Structure 1
């Protein structure tokens, strides 16, 4: 994700997941008589996010849009999963909506709320290693309750879109809401005549019945819940072809189609540029979803990145800047979407890489030198570490602040780590590392330790000692090749992005 403000199939294996879930699984094996309680998978930043005891294989989401973006959608969520422990209860993350019924393997099941968990009691215990299907009929609310936190649905001028990062997918539908448990998705959206519905993946059947239409979309690669995208609006879908025949579809408010086209036609070139850097685009399609809404960010929802309309229509924004932001979200398709973080503390792997390619593009196309930007980041790095923690050990967000982990320490601070690594091992080895990283972990999850190990393998020497300070140190280490760079005294920030709004100094990145 990129915080912006412009004023005026390989899922991770059960063995890999076991390391994250080990401490939480024992908590899951509670006696049926114990009170329901919210669980989690042990994430340091979001303790109650995700649930132990099962591995989701697929989601089938069905939403019916009522023609108003302030009224609840009727919804059915079906989850197919394998149990990884014997379960008397199954916890789902679900924090907003009315549950009307729950079935487990076709039989009615009891359920109760516990915090932002929906705790389901199946008719019989589910043995370890068994297949289960959970069907939840519920409402999905686009308007948070008074005093409740936002996230999930974003209301646009003509409908809805989703923005689930980091911990908000479960505000729209029941799920195992943690990036360590990726799954396949089928998404069905029914909307009244005059609306167009889009979602992640490729479009399947379109069925019209009376004054309503149902669209079906399916992913061809596993996806984390935080990357889910569903949009309904008075939209036009534009099709074009990218490198190697890649289908590109853009979704724009029909009223703004002409003004947006000069930007949208750039995407094939952006994809080609990224493929030159890191290898083939990892998914079945790509495109830009333009929302007529004020969000304060852009977001790398898988195969269909979400952008505010004002990014493209604000006359004060230079072309190189808008291009680099488009590349930032595109880069996330490799870094964050295809290769997802095992825990949210690994966020720098997403944002640091997306910021890196944003900055490289600005250097090559906009003559904004990477070294100048990194020197400014180096000067500010100690302050960022003090405020938000080191890049690979970020501080937890404050209660209710779902965007609180998206701080400069993981954006330009994360890119600074990559710059230091390139300085240490050389450009050729670094470029090999980047390609190997997205190839080795495609469709899976990975950790900071995985990245350091791969870097060591490619460099031919142990880099743990070098990387430790850059990733986890309270102070910024000396920059290889730049003995004159001094931390703790921020240089005047280069004009890498326009200064406007409350997040002007914040990195413009995908969540």
Structure 2
């Protein structure tokens, strides 16, 4: 059939189609230009911690680390290492920043695809082939070295090996990570070392695989852990075991040559565990023990499930037994306060050290007759000077740039234990004891802040404690001690303005 009218003329293109074509051409042109230009230079990032602003990285949450080290028995040679990170992506990422500053990176793979990488400050900046979308999972594998040389924390050398001391911001000197306590994760360690040495790490041993001249040891944590609490120790160690309360596995790690001499100290641990459980409730992890290393760090350290101690405090015979006992309890108490309940920011450190000091002093009182009140009265006398030097407990001054552990000042220890003493004086012993148990129970395996503690204290005490905590945690001068109007604090020395920092 023929049409009864001629076909219509071709219609002109609509304005909308012309506009769409222009947009597409512009987008294509922009893509070509972008491809021709180098990407922006990598920059270090941080999560804005008030004391360590460059630590941590935004955009992801680490679920687990799997870290392999190969140690050749020579502390002058970097270890070969592979760090695999499983993470949840919390915002779209075209680049991934990891904290890492003391090793050489040879390759990075993200979700099975090779990625470009560069160093920026103390960050390793990774450019994956494909952006990581919010809500996705990411697996980041870094082949690198881990260098034990240098005089900063991280790896600590001994006569026959290495131990790890990552507090406060040295974990990223050992392995790539999100090196901030706010991002806790599960850890697996695989350590290959000469067969005549023993390798240990946090958690439970899952494998020991001899292969001629070398042996590979594997350990895994059953609870999440902050990077600053990681521990890997390699050396001529022996590992005596025993039982703690309720059959808790206790494994100590000590120089083989000192095993007999150290046994009187090691056998104290089950009783110390039982004492701590009587105060705050069940031990929060899969095992516990002390790691005694022939190294001089100047401190002892609450690495999770395996507290690090210097050999000299046990064998030199210069420290009274009651004092060494109380130091052992200090690190043990940290397993609850600091390890299981981990601070959200480094400004919350007083919650760690104040509580560990509290139980250290209480143990010395109950077991050795060293009155806590005497110790705290002296601390009160000096507390105004401590606050002037280091800031109030919950608003500490930043550490010295060349000495990060200078954050660990007297105000963080006895100065913060004073806050707990004043709180107990204010709310009563029964409420205080309930608060302590509730704190480690409700925030087990989690992060918690000063604000969390003060809210919980008000809830347990059934009263408004805002004014109390404001004055005790944030003021420049120490408030009057409840129940002790005769306690006085020496006024801090006045420094010339020219010397103020």
* Residue 161 in structure 1 maps to residue 167 in structure 2: no
Q: Aligned partners of 2:217 and 2:182: how far apart in 1?
A: 28
Aligned to 1:47: 53
Mapped contact 2:61–2:183 kept (Cα < 8 A) = yes
Q: Alpha carbon RMSD of aligned pairs, Å?
A: 1.1
Question: 2:330–2:357: 8 Å Cα contact kept in structure 1?
Answer: yes
Counterpart CA distance in 2 for 1:184 and 1:291 is 25
The residue that corresponds to 2:370 in the other structure is: 368
- Output aligned runs, 1:307-346, within 5 Å: 307-346=309-348
User: Within 2, Cα distance between the matches of 1:164 and 1:400?
Assistant: 16
The equivalent position to 2:237 in structure 1, one of 225, 235, 238, is 235
Deviation of 1:489 after TM superposition, in Å, equals 5.6
For the residues of structure 2 that align with 1:54 and 1:478, how far apart are their CA atoms?
Answer: 45
- In structure 1, what is the Cα distance between the partners aligned to 2:104 and 2:214? 24
Q: TM-score w.r.t. structure 2 length?
A: 0.90
Does structure 2 retain, via aligned residues, the 8 Å contact 1:32–1:88? no
Distance in 2 between residues matched to 1:121 and 1:400, nearest whole Å: 31
- The answer to whether the 8 Å contact 2:195/2:210 transfers is no
Matches of 1:489 and 1:277 in 2, distance apart? 35
Corresponding residue number in structure 2 for 1:135: 141
After the TM superposition, which residues 130-209 of structure 1 pair with which residues of structure 2 at under 5 Å, given as runs?
130-144=136-150, 150-209=152-211
User: Who is 1:111 aligned against?
Assistant: 117
2:68 is the counterpart of 1:62: yes
Q: Which residue of 2 aligns with 1:262?
A: 264
Contact 1:392 1:471 in 2 (8 A): yes
Rounded to whole Å, the distance in 1 between the matches of 2:232 and 2:474 is 37
After TM superposition, which residue ranges in structure 1, 4 or more long, deviate above 3 angstroms? none
User: SS state of the match for residue 225, structure 2?
Assistant: coil
Mapped to 2, the partners of 1:159 and 1:232 lie a distance apart of: 5
CA distance in 2, matches of 1:381, 1:429: 25
Q: How does 1:90-489 map to 2 (within 5 A)?
A: 90-144=96-150, 150-488=152-490
Tell me the distance in 1 between the aligned counterparts of 2:301 and 2:373: 26
Structure ranking higher on relative contact order (CA contacts 8 Å, 6+ apart): 1
Q: How big is the shift at 1:70?
A: 2.2
Deviation at 1:365, TM superposition (A): 1.0
Tell me how far 1:85 sits from its aligned partner: 0.4
Partner of 1:394, secondary structure, is coil
User: How far apart in 1 are the matches of 2:368 and 2:94?
Assistant: 58
Distance 1:462 1:103 in 2: 52
User: For structure 1, which runs of at least 5 residues remain unmatched after alignment?
Assistant: 1-30, 491-511
* SS state at 1:409 partner: helix
Secondary structure, counterpart of 2:394 in structure 1: coil
Does 1:38 pair with 2:40? Answer: no
Residue by residue over 1:417-439, the C-alpha shift from the partner in whole angstroms, topping out at 9 and shown as x without a partner, is: 00000000011100000000000
Kept in 2, the 8 Å contact 1:32–1:89? The answer is: no
The aligned residue for residue 86 of structure 2 is: 80
CA distance in 2, matches of 1:32, 1:261: 62
* Deviation sequence 1:147-205 (CA, Å, 0-9, x none): xx601100012110000000000000000000000000000000012000000000001
SS in 2 for 1:100: strand
SS in 1 for 2:239: strand
Provide Cα deviations, 1:240-279, integer angstroms capped at 9, x if missing partner: 0000000000000001111100000000000000000000
Q: Which one of the candidate residues 95, 115, 135 is aligned to 1:89?
A: 95
Q: CA deviation at 1:33?
A: 2.6
